[in-house]
Amino acid sequence: MPHKLMRMRRAEADQGTPGRPIMIAIAGDSAAGKTTLSRGLIEALGPGRATTICVDDYHRFDRAERAGLPYTVLHPDCNYIEIMEQHLQLLAIGEPVLKPVYDHSTGRLTRPELVEPREFIIVEGLLPLHTKLSRACFDVTVYLNPPEEIRRRWKIVRDTSERGYTAEQVLAELARREPDSEAFIRPQRAFADIVVRFGPAPHRDDPPGTPLSAELMLRPTIRHPDLTRVLSDGDQHAIHLKLTRDTDGRPVDTLHVHGYSPREDSATVEKAIWAELGIDASVPDSLGRLADGERTEPLAITQLLLLYHLLDAAR
């Protein structure tokens, strides 16, 4: 862990400079992988330095109340968006908030909890990038964009095992939510500095069971580490960088990390990312862990890149 950096910020605090937390948004539809991604960041930073809040806690109605309403939890009107904005702004200037709490297991709103800002705040959820005011609170913005068939599979597994639904109920809910996903969730992709897509490698015919690849679209809205020195601009390697155009025609870099990337290749990329921070610490080894504890290189590199941006913003 980058202890030197921690000391630096401590010294700053000692000098009476109020600490402005560094904030990252991880937006995406239900079961897009937000929690898996943010868990690795919290572990790498240490819970004493970082905290995660989920903005789905800002639901305006509980599950029973929503039953009679024409829209789903993905709809901004179904959330206290104005209060979410207010709390994000307060956290961004280092103030605590009393955050509402939505209990996913019961579908009920319960007593709120105090959130005190830490050095880093990870904000994940369905709509953190929905408004201009909320977007303005973040140093780094991420949108998780897995292929829909993969997200559906993840959602069925999670909601049947952890939230007490049947697979049929989850599929019906997904269908019911589709118009709101289209109208409110996916448009947030346009406001992300980094769009992350975990899925089968494109243009390849990998056998079933192949670990998922990551495709990281790096928009020039923030300064990404320069990977051109270690990665060639072609798609013949397991990890490669490709200069492409976004759907709106604007230039972007896309970092591809194949699910079977050799550890040596990913170690080279990790070192290149880490070296740009210029800090005297090794790459955290807690990255890349799935819920079952297995390590995947695509996840590790994705988390390391986000960690780079958090630490870079804190300098």
Could you say whether residue 86 binds a second copy (CB under 8 A)? yes
Closer CB to a second copy, residue 126 or residue 305?
126
Distances (CA, A) of 1 to 8, 270, 272, 302, 307: 13, 14, 17, 17, 11
Residue 222 beta carbon to a second copy: minimum distance, rounded to whole angstroms = 30
Candidates 111, 132, 203, 229; binder of a second copy (CB under 8 A) is 111
CA distance 263 to 269: 10
Could you say whether residue 133 binds a second copy (CB under 8 A)? no
- H helices present in 46-137, as ranges: 63-66, 81-92, 132-135
Candidates 108, 152, 158, 271; binder of a second copy (CB under 8 A) is 108
Could you say whether residue 31 binds a second copy (CB under 8 A)? no
Q: What is the contact mask toward a second copy in residues 34 to 63, using x (rule: CB under 8 A)? A: ----------------------------x-
Could you say whether residue 100 binds a second copy (CB under 8 A)? yes
Candidates 10, 93, 94, 95; binder of a second copy (CB under 8 A) is 95
Could you say whether residue 65 binds a second copy (CB under 8 A)? no
Cα 141 from chain centroid (whole Å): 8
CA distance 135 to 122: 13
The amino acid at residue 130 is: H
Could you say whether residue 125 binds a second copy (CB under 8 A)? no
Collapsing DSSP to helix, strand or coil, 200 comes out as coil
Candidates 25, 27, 97, 185; binder of a second copy (CB under 8 A) is 97
Instruction: For residue 273, give both structure tokens.
Output: 């990312």
Could you say whether residue 110 binds a second copy (CB under 8 A)? yes
CA distance 102 to 70: 20
Cα 308 from chain centroid (whole Å): 14
Strand 194-199 to 213-218 pairing:
antiparallel
Residue 186 beta carbon to a second copy: minimum distance, rounded to whole angstroms = 27
Collapsing DSSP to helix, strand or coil, 173 comes out as helix
Region near a second copy per CB under 8 A, out of 30-38, 90-98, 159-167, 272-280: 90-98
Candidates 82, 168, 226, 285; binder of a second copy (CB under 8 A) is 82
Could you say whether residue 287 binds a second copy (CB under 8 A)? no
251-277 burial: b if 16+ Cβ within 10 Å, else e = ebbbbbbbbebeeebbeebbebbbebb
Could you say whether residue 131 binds a second copy (CB under 8 A)? no
DSSP 228-271: TTTS-SSSSSSEEEEEEE-TTS-EEEEEEE-TT--HHHHHHHHH
Cα end-to-end span (Å), the chain: 15
Could you say whether residue 112 binds a second copy (CB under 8 A)? yes
Number of residues located near a second copy, criterion CB under 8 A: 17
CA distance 146 to 153: 11
Residue 83 beta carbon to a second copy: minimum distance, rounded to whole angstroms = 5
Residue 88 beta carbon to a second copy: minimum distance, rounded to whole angstroms = 13
Instruction: For residue 199, give both structure tokens.
Output: 């899925």
Beta bridge partners of 144: 28, 196
Residue 104 beta carbon to a second copy: minimum distance, rounded to whole angstroms = 15
Residue 5 beta carbon to a second copy: minimum distance, rounded to whole angstroms = 28
Residue numbers at the binding site for a second copy (CB under 8 A): 62, 80, 82-83, 86, 90, 95-98, 100, 108-112, 114
